[in-house]
Amino acid sequence: MLRIAIQKSGRLQEGSLELLKESGLSFSNGKDQLKTQARNFPVEILFLRDDDIPQYVEDRVADVGIVGENIYVEKQKNNEIVKRLDFAKCRLSIAIPRAETYGGIKSLDGKNIATTYPNIVKGFLKRHGISAGIHEISGSVEIAPGIGLADAICDIVSTGSTLLSNGLKEVEVVMQSEAVIIATPGLDGEKADILDKLLFRIEAVKKAKNNKYILMNCPNDSIKLITDVIPGMKSPTIIPLARQGWSSLHSVVDENDFWEKIDLLRSFGAEGILVIPIEKMIV
């Protein structure tokens, strides 16, 4: 049985639960539930405070955990990242009062910075040769400059709306963060095997989200041009149509350059283009 720790509430919980369910795990997750067991996979899920997850993984109470990379870096526990999950993306940034003029990173020298991430901030300041005071506080970091506790803050930023509503502006990005799976180094054979199977499923889900299945009708004399643009996993499927000189071509296109490739395909004479989401993608 593999024990997975996820956030019991907060911005990572919904994405973590969705990912596990999309990976084929069936489980209940009622309100205030502290743990649950998958009905169809050897996994037990623990619902914990995100700040506590690295410690639980280090202590082997949980074998793996889904946390923000910022938490993993800040806590400095004996964990390792085994998978980046490409959701809950944000950044840890330094912000100052909006009315102030920012003179570059050297202007932070001698200032006081309020943060929930003292270890990350200390490392950042040290790398840039800045000497600043750090006030470690939990929650409501944005209020610190307004009440005279600090000259600046360092906190998680997603859209920047919270900073704006508190009269602050972002001036330095300290680190980028996303959801990651962390694990206890040296998992035993059985748990390592279960984790490998779970990671395989998660990768299939991630690949599916990053690609679309595409069907189109195209002139036969454009097939070579089109297959060069969308080669698919090995090669496209080509089916002759009843219409002379035309074929139906099926392939896969990367979501990141989807529109650019669609425009190119249309310029090659492709028409009747259908785009279909992929639920799982195993290569």
Q: Give yes or no for a contact between 27 and 17, defined as CB atoms under 8 angstroms apart.
A: no
Domain match, 71 and 183 both: yes
Residues in the chain: 283
Domain match, 58 and 184 both: yes
Beta bridge partners of 89: none
Tokens of 247: 């074929």
Domain match, 150 and 30 both: no
d(CA 24, CA 234): 26
Q: Is residue 283 part of a domain?
A: no
Q: Which domain holds residue 104?
A: 90-177
Domain match, 75 and 118 both: no
Q: Is residue 109 part of a domain?
A: yes
% of the chain at pLDDT higher than 90: 76
d(CA 144, CA 232): 53
Span 60-99, pLDDT tens digits = 999 999 999 999 999 999 999 999 999 999 999 999 999 9
Q: Which helix (H) or strand (E) holds 155?
A: strand 152-157
Domain match, 81 and 183 both: yes
Positions of the chain with pLDDT lower than 50, given as ranges: none
Domain match, 107 and 161 both: yes
Q: What is the pTM of this model?
A: 0.85
Domain match, 118 and 138 both: yes
